[in-house]
Amino acid sequence: MKVSEHLKDQTNPGFSFEIIPPARGKSGKIIIDIVEKLKHFDPPFIDVTSHAAVASYEEVDEGIIKRRVRRKRPGTLGICGVIQNRFGIDTVAHLLCRGFNQEETEDALIELQFLGIENVFAIRGDDTNYKKPVDPNRHENTYTSDLVKQIANLRNGIYVEEIINADPMDFCVGVAGYPEKHFEAPNLKIDIRNLKKKVDAGAGYIVTQMFFDNEKFFNYVKQCREMAINIPILPGIKIIHHKHQLVSIPRNFHVDLPEEFADELMSNPKHAEEIGFNWALKQSRELLEAGEKHLHFYVMNDAESISKLLKKL
Is the model's pLDDT at 95 over the cut of 60?
A: yes
Q: Three-state DSSP class for 250? A: helix
Domain assignment present for residue 258? The answer is yes
* Positive/negative CA dihedral, 169, 106, 123, 286: positive
Give the total number of structural domains in the chain: 1
DSSP 54: E
- Residue 173's identity, in one-letter code, is V
Contact 76, 94 (CB under 8 A): yes
Burial string for 222-250 (b: 16+ CB within 10 Å, else e) reads ebbeeeebeebbbbbbbbbeebebbeebe
The phi, psi pair for 123, rounded to 5°, reads -140, 155
Is the model's pLDDT at 121 over the cut of 70?
A: yes
Write the CA distances from 209 to 45, 61, 161, 184, 220, integer angstroms: 17, 43, 34, 14, 11
Contact 26, 297 (CB under 8 A): no
Q: What is the pLDDT of residue 63?
A: 52
**CATH at residue 141:** 3.20.20.220
Domain assignment present for residue 171? The answer is yes
Q: What is the pLDDT of residue 202?
A: 97
The phi, psi pair for 48, rounded to 5°, reads -125, 120
Per-residue pLDDT band at 71 (split at 50, 70, 90): low
Taking the CA of residue 110 as centre, how many other CA atoms within 13 Å lie in the half-sphere pointing to its CB?
Answer: 13
Enter the pTM of the model: 0.90
Domain assignment present for residue 27? The answer is yes
Domain assignment present for residue 59? The answer is no
Domain assignment present for residue 292? The answer is yes
Domain that holds residue 42: 3-54+64-267+274-312
Domain assignment present for residue 218? The answer is yes
| Interval 275-296: pLDDT, tens | 999 999 999 999 999 999 999 9
| Interval 175-202: pLDDT, tens | 999 999 999 999 999 999 999 999 999 9
